[in-house]
Structure 1
Amino acid sequence: MKTTAVLAFAALAASAVHAIEIPAEHHQRFLREQASIADELAQWKDSVAGQVAKKNGFYKESSSGQSIQIESVSVDADHLKRFFLTKLSIAEVAKANPEATFSVNTPFTLMTDAEFAAHVKRSSGKVDGRDAPTTANATLAVEAISAEHAARNLATSLDWTTSGCVAGVKDQGDCGSCWAFSSIGALESANCIKSGALQLFSDQQATSCDPTSDGCDGGWPLWSLQYLKRFGGVCTAASYPYNSGTTGVTGTCSTSGCTKTALTISSITTVASTESALVTAITKQPVAVAVAAGNTAWKQYTSGVVSSCSTSALDHAVLAVGYDATSFKLKNQWGTSWGANGFINLKRTGTGSAACSIINTHNVYPNLA
């Protein structure tokens, strides 16, 4: 997506709008391997990742209405082809990312690469055409970390997940609310660092109540934090639980009955678009970051360090929770059946670019009074 749009992760069922075709150069291999592919497909459907995919509508049973008989077993022809195409894509993305591991063990395996890209990039939504937030057009106090400040000596590695100040991996489900989860995650960690106790805050409040964003149709972490600054606190997760992932809709804002945690966001820091500035920011606290995720590397990632993404447009938001000499550690919100138990590592380059466009002008964190 263009950065004039908004970030979202809106669920899109992988229905077969048109017939899935196997490229001619791979057709004979597909025929030879049908039996083994069918076995792998059945195992995937029974796995946690497969069950999550079914629950979230990432594929439909009998999507093509056609089946193939393999050893007296009827197998959905469309699913079989999709699974095979994903295996081909995994082989290709692995060549470009020798330090990472990719497999069929993710919830997005029955989506084609194009469907997954559209799935992630459905982020312009109702606010298409509105400018993405910048330091210049932010309406509240926004500080910028300078590259000079970032040049100071820093720890060679840091992992906030060992501090007790990072909430467990969540699942945004069938809703384009990545921006809400990343901003709430940053606020949860900031509050824990300040108070010494981790409290879980309401992702649903951020999704449903921010008037600047459009809930399941997209938003930006900065907009979300600005709303919470004006609200003067945040509802607890227990008193305002997340349900948009199941319903697929934003829902009506309802904070009147929630338990409000009284905290004050004094300002919001926009991190300068350099690698050293992002490292400096993470040294202080976890950071809500924008990334380019609508690609095969994210679709089938299971472990290791991603060094190359085939797309560069910002279309997703996550929480940066650590770094070492070679990579940034990010907490996603696609559940623990995706990635390395819900996490992904992106390669640092030392040049100001880094993998998957993580070095950009939309990375933010809240400062608490």
Structure 2
Amino acid sequence: MLDNKKGTDLPFTKLPDAKCPAHAPADHPKVPPEKVGILLANLGTPDNYDYWSMRRYLNEFLSDRRVIDYAPWKWQPLLQLIILTKRPFSSGAAYKSIWNEDKGESPLMTITRDQTAAIRDKMVEVFGDKVEVDFCMRYGNPSTKAKVQEMVDKGCQKILFFPLYPHYAGATSATANDQFFRALMEQAWQPSARTVAPYFEHPEYIDALAQSVETAYAKAENRPDILVVSYHGMPQRYLRQGDPYHCQCQKTTRLLKERLGWADTDIVTTFQSVFGPEEWLRPYTVEHVAELAKQGKKRIAVMAPAFSADCIETLEEINEEIRESFEHAGGEEFTYIPCLNDDPAHIQALSTVIMDNLKGWLD
């Protein structure tokens, strides 16, 4: 079995555990034992916060028609000539303020790697060497295409693809799946594939969220007057077109409220990260926290359940911009509740979701 493009043996023929199949002729290429790949996917991160790294990343992100669906003939001139001339500077400064300088990477990269390592330990404990666990990014590195190729080269004839978004949205789960399927299209021997559905109402996920709230409230010097549950926003138009994201976010908040045993007045749903001239899902977090302060809610807590890992939208936008909006309006105590990240309860919830989706492949 040769790579016709390069005229060389395929990568998996050189793996230490590759063997000639039983009953095959002696000159048959060696193949590795069949494995199942578990590929976690997150949004992505620039390689650095300098201008050109930011420009490359933003160009890939903002050129995705799932993210910005304006006609390219209208959008691309605006993007290339104006937005990508200016925005890499402001976005780079925001990333610099949260950058993990010790590891030379964004917090999202660090956390996603830690999540992957923890999930790998759990999967290996259950399935041994039958699984390969890794992660990729929709934008930037490590790319989906590269990681799919690595898994195929290691003998993964089945791949479970897991977008790390609790809630479905075209601009998150769908575009991650799109990229996964594009990668599969390039495989001569295409592995079987499954994608993991949103887990916004999974009991273990809700319980992990509730535990994070309970822990934060127990540490607070004064109990917050209200919990603001802030989700990443999207244009109102997407909801009218049938995207279920808004409804799934509302259900997560309701289930969290019920799990905590709270009243409706103890919790509120808002949406952040508004971009462009369109009307987005409301209320806007940055405006609503200021309104809460003016209404006499001087102590608030904010969490972001739509993010599986802390990133620019939480560490910079919530903990800096949104905090500032609240305090400038008269707010006194602002508590940011971190994303679930690699918390053991979160890793357990994600592992349960994975094992549910592996049924029939690995039991």
How high is the TM-score relative to the length of structure 2? 0.26
Q: Which structure carries more helix by proportion?
A: 2
How high is the TM-score relative to the length of structure 1? 0.26
Greater relative contact order: 1 or 2 (C-alpha under 8 angstroms, separation 6 or more)?
1
Larger radius of gyration: 2
